[in-house]
Structure 1
Amino acid sequence: MAGRLSFANITALAPMVRVGTLPMRLLALDYGADVVYCEELIDIKMVQCHRVENEVLQTVDFVAPDDRVMFRTCEKEKQKVVFQMGTADPERALTVARLVEKDVAAIDVNMGCPKEYSTKGGMGAALLSDPDKVEAILRKLVGGVSVPVTCKIRILPSLEDTLSLARRIEKTGVAAIAVHGRFKEERPRHPVHCDYIGAVARAVAIPVIANGGSLDLVKTHGDIRAFKEATGSTSVMLARAAMWNPSIFRSAGPLPLHDVMIQYLKYALRYDNHAFNSKYCLCQMLRDKVESVLGKRVQAAQTNRELSDAYGLEDLFKETQKQLEARRDALLSPEWRQDNVITMDGDVTTMALKFQRREYPPQLTPKMFLLEWSRRQKMEQPTYQTVQRAQDRAFQSTVTVEDRKYRSSLWEKSKKFAEQASAVVCLRSLGIPEGRVGAETDAWPQKRKMEDNRDAEEKRKKQTVDADGEPETGGL
């Protein structure tokens, strides 16, 4: 089929948990990777997701019921990204594959990870001891989706068993096999068995992607060719070597690591990557420099703004947030603008709006913003009064702040959403930021003003102490 992803003669970014998210994949492609794999995503979690076209970020998000984004991708990588799943169930695997197939270039099944989070439930390397299930999963996927299907395995204790499994996998119709050249019990400190990978490459006609050489065989781009020759494979998959410095994919040679981290962070900001995930990836690149001044600032960071500050990218952060906010505002429908018309229902300020959870980052909610604002204004904390409608069991909440009441005139499906909606009405009525995506970390002008005033007051007191020898307020 024209346009189908080829796995022959490629260099790929391997699937790595917490590393293979969108910013790292895009960075690897920029530096010359031919194919990029996402981190392993478990079918049980993915099957609950719904597909959302995120017009603000210009991404496609697969969102879990708790509003976490399990997988985020974009047009830039669509022809190069492979979705790797952890599964032990053919039907569930097919459901997930059909959910994502229009947004990815291929589907891969993890049959090699030896870690407990992957092997529990019979997934990952646990599948190596159940070739019937391996075949059932792959045949179901190959026959059920329009994109290529691959799998990633580890070698078995005997070469004969390894070759037997590889041949059986080939017969399912997969487009390629990635082979990690270590046994299930072995870890990265153990040398990779290039002879096993080479034997598999000779035993099958489909491309074999060699994996496992980052420890001592692949340290520079020039080593990739040597690893291919050592394993008899036409393709190579890099994990830790790419995690430590993604510019290893550059044929012209690696870039200074600081420059690479800056480029990574730019993607993380552009695509609103979760700060803790960004921090993890940056710390992997820092490696033995995590105790440096920069490393300590990165480790201490809790937000993307703080990560940006650590790298001197304060202005870039602010500009990125403004761009996202402007894009969000430009996309607002006339209906949304109507939502922001303030009306009065007796003594209650109302707006006709629904709480849209996807507009807010997981760690922040309008209720949290309202509570924090109230504390800083030295007000009593907001109180919520919620009622439920009998005919459809929908909810409506009224929040009281400083004896003034606010609520949405629309009813919500849950008490939690009703309370959040009333908090939004209050915040918008008062002109206070509510933490929407694109503005959440630059959303406290009042907070910063109060902190500036506090700092100025403390400075004035200190000057008084320095001048008079005792505090302005005197002593008892």
Structure 2
Amino acid sequence: MIVNNLTLCYQGKVILAPMVRVGTLPMRLLALDYGADIVYCEELIDIKMLQCKRVVNEVLDTVDFVTPDERVVFRTCERERNKVVFQMGSADAERALAVAKLIENDVAGVDVNMGCPKEYSTKGGMGAALLSDPDKIEKILSTLVKGICKPVTCKIRILPTLEDTLNLVKRIERTGVAAIAVHGRKKEERPQHPVHCDIIKAIAEAVSIPVIANGGSHDHIKVYSDLEAFRQETSASSVMVARAAMWNPSIFRKEGLQPLEKIMQEYIKYAVRYDNHYANTKYCLCQMLREQLETPQGRKLHAAQSSQEICDAFELGTFYEEMVAELAAKAATLQIQAQEEEEAEDPDVIRMAIKFDKRQYPPQITPKMCLLEWCRKEKLAQPVYETIQRPVDRLFRSIVTVSEHKYCSALWDKSKKLAEQAAAIVCLRSLGLPEGKLGDNTQSPLMHKRKVEERELWKDRENEEALSGGAPHKKPHLTLATNNIAPDRP
């Protein structure tokens, strides 16, 4: 039933095509504003997506898929939830399915790009490299169709002969995909080569599923009326546009193109509102300006090294400041609300406003180590740390449990390790115990233990060298690896 719904959705629709560094959220939303019915994200590689975790961003009102190093790989929002198709690059059916399951509840459909001729895609067996392996194509698509509840599509390029192309698309149709997009060029052909409308037409007449015509931006599509003309010439169910939409997303506007200056300002506002990386924003604006890059405004854009500088180049400096302040205020409000909710949920947790600064501690001593050593000395169970990450800003807080009492810092930290160290400090200070800090009047037992171990090791080294006839030249640098306690760095 869902597949049928998407088939109807595709029928006669205009689609913003995927293109590397083009299909980010601001561009997709702008295309929807001007009449695009379906938007594709940029092609994202399966291995990269499998490193991500799903994070609800309450400040931006988005869903983010974030890598371990906190880089946002894919960002979407409620407005495009039923209109965005997630396009991936994959050469493995099981990896493709794992990615599809990760994102299927946040998108309208899943597409596999089997037409990208770029080396970054083909060298991994993805993109146009799949065209020479129909068995793998069939396995990937069949696995996706059977494995997820959202519609599955794919995008291909034409093969050297019409017969080979038709054999491939019929095999793809049998996998159960909802639609097939056809870029009307061979994998070695580029935009300057004419698109083969006759081949797309032959494909559309050979299969019963919707065919999406792609590749007309250079020669065929300049204004809105060209979209329908291209669709009719190819007998396709719908049209997919990439470069023409990137140059001016108002190409989807029935009433005609809007002035480029207006389009760029609207795009920049979306980019700031959704915290788009300035480099991507700059790239997209350069694509819009094209031959105007040598104008004073184009030179300002070329020199910009931040979102604020981009806004200044387009007389949007005030907008930038107001939007940044608005988002910061929202983040602060959400943080206060989250803290109040946590304190109400667990009033038994002892809290202090503390952060761990490793510069205040000896290189080989941390609060966590001091707390662990004290628990061992008192014959208590070792400390148990429970660390959570706050979705609103992806900061961390840890609660440590010692002898059935809980302790944590009232402040949030940028890493799990720092949060755990802060929790250990709260516990140590609450119990009146030394934390190993530099300049403490009361010397930590752990520090004393380390000094004893160091002296003993030094004596052993002296004895060994004396027996071998050598003499020590300098005191060896001791590391935690020489001790029984494992290293614990923030």
Provide the TM-score with structure 1 as the length reference: 0.74
Map of 1:136 onto structure 2: 139
Q: Say whether residues 1:351 and 2:353 are aligned partners.
A: yes
Greater shift in the superposed pair: 254-263 or 222-231: 222-231
**Unaligned segments of structure 2, at least 5 residues:** 344-351, 373-382, 386-407, 424-490
Aligned mates of 1:289, 1:38 — CA distance in 2: 27
Distance 1:33 1:266 in 2: 19
Question: What residue in structure 1 maps to residue 56 of structure 2?
Answer: 53
Q: Equivalent of 1:258, from 258, 261, 271?
A: 261
Is the radius of gyration larger for structure 1 or structure 2? 2
Residue 199 of structure 2 is aligned to residue 196 of structure 1: yes
Equivalent in the alignment of 1:300: 303
| 1:64-120 Cα distance to aligned partner (Å, 9 max, x none) | 111100000000101100000000110010000010000000000000000011112
Q: Are 2:74 and 1:71 aligned?
A: yes
Aligned residue in 2 for 1:223: 226
The CA distance in 2 between the partners of 1:118 and 1:160, in whole Å, is 26
Tell me the distance in 2 between the aligned counterparts of 1:420 and 1:200: 63
CA-to-partner distance for each residue in 1:319-355, whole Å, 9 max, x for gaps? 1112111211221245647999xxxxxxxxx72469x
Query: Which residue of 1 is the match for residue 274 of structure 2?
Result: 271
Aligned partner of 2:86 among 83, 87, 111:
83
Equivalent-residue separation in structure 2 for 1:139 and 1:179 (angstroms): 19
Residue 21 of structure 1 aligns to which amino acid in structure 2? T
Q: Does the CA-based 8 Å contact 2:354-2:422 persist in structure 1?
A: no
In the alignment, structure 1 residue 313 sits paired with structure 2 residue 287:
no
Number of matched pairs: 379
Shift of 1:180: 0.1
Matches within 5 A, 1:4-403: 4-5=5-6, 6-333=9-336, 336=339, 351-352=353-354, 383=359, 385=361, 387-388=365-366, 389-390=368-369, 391=372
Percent identity, please.
62
* Matched AA of 2:238: S
Change (3 A) 1:393 1:413: farther
Amino acid at match of 1:197: I
1:4 Cα deviation after fit = 3.7
Measure how far apart 1:7 and its partner are: 1.3
Provide closer, same or farther for how the CA distance between residues 338 and 75 of structure 1 changes in structure 2, counting only shifts above 3 A. Answer: closer
The 2-side partners of 1:213 and 1:41 are apart by: 23
**TM-score using structure 2 length:** 0.72
**Residue in structure 2 matched with residue 449 of structure 1 by the alignment:** none
- Tell me how far apart the structure 1 counterparts of residues 68 and 215 of structure 2 sit (CA, whole Å): 36
Measured in 2, the distance between the counterparts of 1:309 and 1:238 equals 30
Q: Distance in 2 between matches of 1:293 and 1:338?
A: 52
Partner of residue 427, structure 1: none
Distance in 2, matches of 1:12 and 1:411, equals 43
Give the letter aligned to residue 105 of structure 2. Answer: K
Q: Do the aligned partners of residues 202 and 325 (structure 1) sit closer, same or farther apart at CA in structure 2, a change above 3 Å counting?
A: same
Preserved CA contact (<8 Å) 1:353 1:409:
no
SS of structure 2 residue aligned to 1:53: strand
Structure 1 runs of 4+ aligned residues shifted over 6 Å read 337-340, 407-416, 418-422
SS in 2 for 1:188: coil
**C-alpha deviation, 1:39, in angstroms:** 0.1
User: Counterparts of 2:29 and 2:198 in 1: how far apart (Å)?
Assistant: 32
RMSD: 3.0
Cα distance change on mapping 1:300 and 1:421 into 2, 3 Å: farther
Partners of 2:410 and 2:100 in 1: CA distance: 40
